[in-house]
Structure 1
Amino acid sequence: MVQRQVPRPAELLELMRFRRIDLDGRRRRLSSALSIDDLRTIAKRRTPAAAFDYTDGAAEREISMARSVQAFEDIEFHPSILRDVSQVDTTAQILGGSSAQPFGIAPTGFTRLMQTEGEVAGAGAAGAAGIPFTLSTLGTTSIEEVRAANPLGRNWFQLYVMTQREISYGLVERAAAAGYDTLFFTVDTPVAGARLRDVRNGFSIPPQLSLGTVVDAIPRPWWWWDFLTTAKLEFASLSETGGTVGELLNSAMDPSIDFDDLAEIRAMWPGKLAVKGVQTLEDARKLADLGVDAIVLSNHGGRQLDRAPVPFHLLPEVAREVGDDLEIILDTGIRSGADIVAAIALGADFTLIGRAYLYGLMAGGREGVDRAIAILTDEVERTMKLLQVQSLQELGPQHVTQLSRLTPLAADSRGRRAARP
Structure 2
Amino acid sequence: MTPDLRYPALSDLKAACKGRVPWFVWEYLDSATGTESVKPRNRAALEQVLFRPAVLRGPIVPQLGTRFLGQDYAMPVGVAPVGMSGLIWPGAEAALARMAQTTRLPYCLSTVATRLPEEIGPIAGDMGWFQLYPPKDPSIRADILARARKAGFRVLVLTVDLPGPSRRERQLRAQLAIPPKLTPSMLWQIAQRPAWALGTLRHGQPRLRLMEDYLKLDGNAPSTAHPGYLLRAAPDWDYLHAVRKLWDGPLVIKGVMDAQDAPRLRDAGADAIWVSNHGGRQFDGAPAALHALREMRAILGADMPLIYDGGIESGLDVLRALAFGADFTMLGRGWHYALGALGAQGADHLAQILRDDLASNMMQMGLTHAKDAYSQLWTHGPAPES
Q: Give me the whole-angstrom Cα distance separating, in 2, the residues matched to 1:289 and 1:48.
A: 46
2:223 to 245, 248, 257: 245
Q: Give me the whole-angstrom Cα distance separating, in 2, the residues matched to 1:397 and 1:204.
A: 48
2:33–2:168 CA contact under 8 A, matched in 1: yes
Provide the residue aligned with 1:254 in structure 2.
233
| Cα distance, 1:298–1:385 mapped onto 2, change above 3 Å | same
The yes-or-no answer on 1:335 pairing with 2:309 is no
Alignment deviations for residues 1-52 of structure 1 (CA, whole Å, 9 cap, x no partner): xxxxxxxxxxxxxxxxxxxxx5xxxxx5675111111000000000001111
4+ long deviations beyond 3 Å: 28-31
User: Secondary structure of 1:183's match?
Assistant: strand
Q: Give me the whole-angstrom Cα distance separating, in 1, the residues matched to 2:16 and 2:4.
A: 8
Alignment of 1:154-303 (within 5 A): 154-239=127-212, 240-241=216-217, 242=219, 243-248=221-226, 249-255=228-234, 257-303=235-281
2:38–2:280 CA contact under 8 A, matched in 1: yes
RMSD across aligned positions (CA):
1.8
User: Secondary structure of 1:396's match?
Assistant: helix
User: Secondary structure of 1:351's match?
Assistant: strand
Return the letter of the residue paired with 1:203.
Answer: L
Q: Give me the whole-angstrom Cα distance separating, in 2, the residues matched to 1:400 and 1:57.
A: 33
2:104 to 122, 130, 154: 130
1:90–1:392 CA contact under 8 A, matched in 2: yes
Return the letter of the residue paired with 2:152.
Answer: G
Alignment of 1:4-403 (within 5 A): 31-151=5-125, 153-239=126-212, 240-241=216-217, 242=219, 243-248=221-226, 249-255=228-234, 257-396=235-374, 398-401=376-379
1:83–1:389 CA contact under 8 A, matched in 2: no
Alignment deviations for residues 81-125 of structure 1 (CA, whole Å, 9 cap, x no partner): 222343110112211111111111101111110111210000111
| Cα distance, 1:106–1:400 mapped onto 2, change above 3 Å | farther
Q: Give me the whole-angstrom Cα distance separating, in 2, the residues matched to 1:292 and 1:207.
A: 36
1:276–1:298 CA contact under 8 A, matched in 2: yes
| Cα distance, 1:82–1:30 mapped onto 2, change above 3 Å | closer
Q: Give me the whole-angstrom Cα distance separating, in 2, the residues matched to 1:50 and 1:122.
A: 22
| Cα distance, 1:166–1:303 mapped onto 2, change above 3 Å | same
Return the letter of the residue paired with 1:355.
Answer: R
The sequence identity of aligned pairs, in percent, is 33
Gaps of 5+ in 2: 382-386
User: Secondary structure of 1:75's match?
Assistant: coil
Return the letter of the residue paired with 1:253.
Answer: R
Alignment deviations for residues 343-392 of structure 1 (CA, whole Å, 9 cap, x no partner): 11121000011111110011122101111111111111111111110112
After TM superposition, give the deviation of residue 402 of structure 1 in Å.
Answer: 6.8
Q: Give me the whole-angstrom Cα distance separating, in 1, the residues matched to 2:371 and 2:351.
A: 21
After TM superposition, give the deviation of residue 181 of structure 1 in Å.
Answer: 1.5
Return the letter of the residue paired with 2:341.
Answer: A
Return the letter of the residue paired with 1:381.
Answer: A
Q: Give me the whole-angstrom Cα distance separating, in 1, the residues matched to 2:291 and 2:5.
A: 34
User: Secondary structure of 2:225's match?
Assistant: helix
Q: Give me the whole-angstrom Cα distance separating, in 1, the residues matched to 2:49 and 2:318.
A: 12
Alignment deviations for residues 317-351 of structure 1 (CA, whole Å, 9 cap, x no partner): 21122143420000111111111011111210000
Query: Under a length normalisation based on structure 1, what TM-score does the superposition of the two structures give?
Result: 0.85
After TM superposition, give the deviation of residue 250 of structure 1 in Å.
Answer: 3.7
Q: Give me the whole-angstrom Cα distance separating, in 1, the residues matched to 2:203 and 2:358.
A: 36
Gaps of 5+ in 1: 1-21, 23-27, 404-421
After TM superposition, give the deviation of residue 222 of structure 1 in Å.
Answer: 2.0
1:273–1:294 CA contact under 8 A, matched in 2: yes
Provide the residue aligned with 2:384 in structure 1.
none
- Give the count of matched residue pairs: 375
Q: Give me the whole-angstrom Cα distance separating, in 2, the residues matched to 1:156 and 1:262.
A: 18
